[in-house]
Structure 1
Amino acid sequence: MPPPLLLSVLYASAILLGAAALMMPVSHTAKISWSDAIFTATSAVTVTGLVVFDIGTKLTFFGQVVLTFLIQLGGLGLMTFAVLVLGALGLPIGLTGQIYLREDLNQNSMHRLMQLVGVILKAVLICEAIGAALLCLSFVPRLGFWNGLWQAVFHSVSAFNNAGFSTFSDGLVGYATDPVINLVIPALFILGGIGYSVLREVASGKGWKRYSLSTKIMLLGTGVLIPWSVIMFAVLEWSNPGTLGPYSVWGKLMISWFQGVTTRTAGFNTTDIGAMHDSTVLMFISLMLIGGGPASTAGGIKVTTFVVMILATIAFFRRQTQLNAFGRSIGFEAVLKVMALTAISTVLVFVATFLILITHDGTFLDIAFEVSSAFGTVGLSRGYTPELNGFGRAVIILVMFLGRVGPLTLGFFLATRSVPRLRYPKGEIHLG
């Protein structure tokens, strides 16, 4: 079975099993429908964070444990999880398994693939354990030991996997100026969203000059996007009475920092997303579509794709025949993949937005925001998700699914591979 097809089947199976577990009476305090369960399971496995009910009140402790497991499963990647299980049992992975693993981790080769799995396991265990211990400093004094401990574990797993799920009805608004929350949660989702390959190279300590081209591009893009999003959120929302207005200067800066870095993939909120200005909403949509890094828990078209697209545009206007970055050339096939990924992602978001607009009464910005959040597996919401009807939920589920398994998977199902038997003379076409 081709890797994209197999991975799609595995993720779909995990979603259905997760939905069945959430439908068990022991998982919820009030009755939920299969539509609720499938939507929530999809949101968890795709590490999105969109919800159609309050998980803090409607799910029991067992249901929240199930949700946490689904988040961890989706964040690790099903093939990575399978490799870890097989390794623990002492069973061989095989060449076919490594091919599927390479596809799931979005790698170009199988070189040091198993070493990357080891890095993933260490990063997950260390980061989530340290994150939970630090979050206890805020949650335990307020909520008591056992409840505070569980909230720390849940939010640590949710943050590192860039899921954005919170058991609090208003998200993390109640902790908007808490220094621990504003440091630990962003640190977790930045580490989880930057990519395991980048973490491996940075942790190796071999220095900037010896980093791979992909790592350099990822670090450059992240270093530009984070300050841009933080500064722009502060500028646009500084006097908005619904978001930053009521806070002190220090509080405004803390919320701007948190909300600026969470937008591209994590999905947590310390302010009312529905009260933001339209200009901020549009900026958030663009950031959510960009997403995080390859081979990470993040979604979107990925930062590396966005940077290569910018570099290709600059190269075109400079009349360059070769695309270069950091003393390395970027192949034509990589540029074609960037173009295909961007085109498919744009069409998918526009079609999904159009379908929901013609079947719902919501405003364009609210619906476009929800669709972009689903595609980027972000989870930020302007409160419109519970208003979706059955068709709208199905559209969002599909968008979340394709956002997790990769938009190019859709291209795989629509395209057929063919080898040209003839070479035609070059024709002229007028563009732009």
Structure 2
Amino acid sequence: MKIGVAIVKKKRNINPSKTLVLGFAILILVGATLLSLPAATENGEGLPFLKALFTATSATCVTGLVVVDTGSTFSLFGELVILSLIQIGGLGFMTFASFVFMLLGKRISLKERLVLKEAINLNDFTGIGILVRRILLFTGVIEFSGALLLAIRFSYDMPIGKAIYYGVFHSISNFNNAGFDLLGGFHSLTSYVDDPVIVLTICALITLGGIGFIVMNDLYEYRKTRKLSLHTKIMLITSISLTLFGTIAIYLLELGNTKTFGPLSPLGQVLGALFQSVTSRTAGANTLPIGDLTHATLLIMMFLMFIGGGSGSTAGGIKVTTFVVLLATVWSQIKGREDIVIFKKRLVKEIVFKAFTVAMCGFAIVAFVTFILSITDTGHHFIMYLFEATSAFGTVGLTMGLTTELSPIGQLLIILTMFAGRLGPLTIGIAITRRRQKETFHRPKGNIMIG
């Protein structure tokens, strides 16, 4: 009995959100320190610390926004530091640490399980050790397959050793939804816009990384259970729907744009629209020049960036499930229903409250960052500030060209936005506030007019 009480007390004293925030912050600072070393850059001078901090934050938060060109600025050491930050940041540092503990034969403690539960967004501790192993298995298999396909394709354009390295780098970068590339010149993958192998392989990597490890595990278990969870059903159906919507919308909106679709074949136009739809969900690579896209296309992309990918994935944004809960709530109100039902399952009020909180915090962050950027970095079109803020919050990494021109204040603001977008505004809010206390009484009901 005393042991049980002790465990409960210990559990209450643990703040997983605070551990996650501090862990990511420490990882970013270590990465920034390494990137500022002379050995990290080709010129042997190292990066100024602010630029190193920006790059480390972008890599750890798997965003992809860069203030210097990755391929031409960093040495092999610097590129490997960035790649390590992407991998650890994408998996989550606690998932990575737990794997190291397992290799050393150590058990995962209660505190570590609590933090893992928060990081992966689980509802309970059931099978968390098995899930960690599977996450690493899924990651290894997918990244290896992507690296192999990309290396084979790159081998036609460069020496085999360089092709293998490029294949590995771009596979890890895109599976973790980071979008960093080594092709140089801030052009990302625009030279491969009509290449089916590159486009489809990277689209697959981005999609698999963005649906989340919980969905992957659920699909893996399907052969035994023949059932899919509500979360998985929502993720699969909505992700496919958003990808199709984005592809069709971008294709139609860019069809008459000579700067983007003009030089492309019909197949290249379809592949370009597909890639931009997929990458807007939080990856950061691009095959079409972002600055030349129509404003209507940019709005569609910002909509997709704000939604992001799946909970417990390498993606950012408010998450697909949050978006669906918001839609279901609105629909229930329109239909005059008391319960919010998705796939014949009734959602509890706590989920609805959490979804609205995440969405409103996301809107507030994007609006605030856009407002501040328009003050500190004057001289640009308003849509560039809005696009940059949405991209940073969604940890996407797409830019209309503003990133490299940001002032020091603008860089710090985007750093904080990427950090908030990766961890989630709710996680950061809980980390910096006191532990929730259950109310012992309820105040009298009030009534106000809405609408």
TM-score, length basis structure 1: 0.97
Letter in 1 for 2:148: A
Q: Which moved more, 1:178-187 or 1:209-218?
A: 209-218
Q: 1:331 matched to which residue of 2?
A: 348
Q: 1:368 matched to which residue of 2?
A: 386
Give the distance between the partners of 1:43 and 1:305, measured in 2 at CA: 24
Secondary structure of the residue aligned to 2:126 is: coil
Letter in 1 for 2:399: S
**CA positional deviation for 1:205:** 3.0
Q: 1:178 matched to which residue of 2?
A: 195
% identity of equivalent residues: 41
Q: Indicate conservation of the 8 Å contact 1:292/1:300, yes or no.
A: yes
Letter in 2 for 1:105: I
Secondary structure of the residue aligned to 1:377 is: coil
Q: 1:390 matched to which residue of 2?
A: 408
Aligned-CA RMSD value:
1.4
Q: Indicate conservation of the 8 Å contact 2:369/2:389, yes or no.
A: yes
Q: Indicate conservation of the 8 Å contact 1:47/1:377, yes or no.
A: yes
Q: 1:58 matched to which residue of 2?
A: 73
Q: 1:346 matched to which residue of 2?
A: 363
Give CA-to-partner distance per residue, 1:296-351, whole Å, 9 cap, x none.
10000000110111001100111111111112111110000001111111111111
Q: Indicate conservation of the 8 Å contact 2:322/2:355, yes or no.
A: yes
Distance 1:135 1:306, change over 3 A: same
Give the distance between the partners of 1:16 and 1:413, measured in 2 at CA: 19
Q: Is 1:94 paired with 2:109?
A: yes
Q: 2:3 matched to which residue of 1?
A: none
Q: 2:246 matched to which residue of 1?
A: 229
**CA positional deviation for 1:258:** 1.2
**CA positional deviation for 1:292:** 0.3
Q: Indicate conservation of the 8 Å contact 1:237/1:245, yes or no.
A: no
Count of aligned pairs between the two proteins = 432
TM-score, length basis structure 2: 0.93
Q: 2:6 matched to which residue of 1?
A: none
Q: Is 1:422 paired with 2:422?
A: no
Query: What is the aligned counterpart of 1:189 among 206, 209, 212?
Result: 206
**CA positional deviation for 1:108:** 1.8
Q: Indicate conservation of the 8 Å contact 2:261/2:269, yes or no.
A: yes
**CA positional deviation for 1:223:** 1.8
Alignment of 1:29-428 (within 5 A): 29-30=42-43, 31=45, 32-168=47-183, 169=185, 170-206=187-223, 210-361=227-378, 362-413=380-431, 415-416=433-434, 417-428=436-447
Give the distance between the partners of 2:72 and 2:25, measured in 1 at CA: 27
Q: Is 1:15 paired with 2:28?
A: yes
Give the distance between the partners of 2:416 and 2:85, measured in 1 at CA: 17
5+ unaligned residues in a row in structure 2: which ranges?
Answer: 1-13
Letter in 2 for 1:159: N
Give CA-to-partner distance per residue, 1:362-409, whole Å, 9 cap, x none.
221101111111111111111110111111011100000011111102
Q: Which moved more, 1:201-210 or 1:356-365?
A: 201-210
Q: Indicate conservation of the 8 Å contact 2:18/2:428, yes or no.
A: no
Give the distance between the partners of 1:332 and 1:214, measured in 2 at CA: 16
**CA positional deviation for 1:422:** 3.4
**CA positional deviation for 1:414:** 5.9
Letter in 2 for 1:422: F
Q: Indicate conservation of the 8 Å contact 2:194/2:272, yes or no.
A: yes
Distance 1:100 1:190, change over 3 A: same
Secondary structure of the residue aligned to 1:117 is: helix
Give the distance between the partners of 1:350 and 1:407, measured in 2 at CA: 14
Q: Is 1:6 paired with 2:19?
A: yes
Distance 1:208 1:113, change over 3 A: closer
Question: Displaced runs of 4+ in structure 1, greater than 6 A?
Answer: none
**CA positional deviation for 1:208:** 9.7
Give the distance between the partners of 1:165 and 1:387, measured in 2 at CA: 18
**CA positional deviation for 1:183:** 1.3
Give the distance between the partners of 2:404 and 2:376, measured in 1 at CA: 15
Q: Indicate conservation of the 8 Å contact 2:222/2:228, yes or no.
A: no
Query: What is the aligned counterpart of 1:27 among 37, 40, 58?
Result: 40
**CA positional deviation for 1:420:** 3.0
Q: Which moved more, 1:90-99 or 1:411-420?
A: 411-420
Letter in 2 for 1:95: L
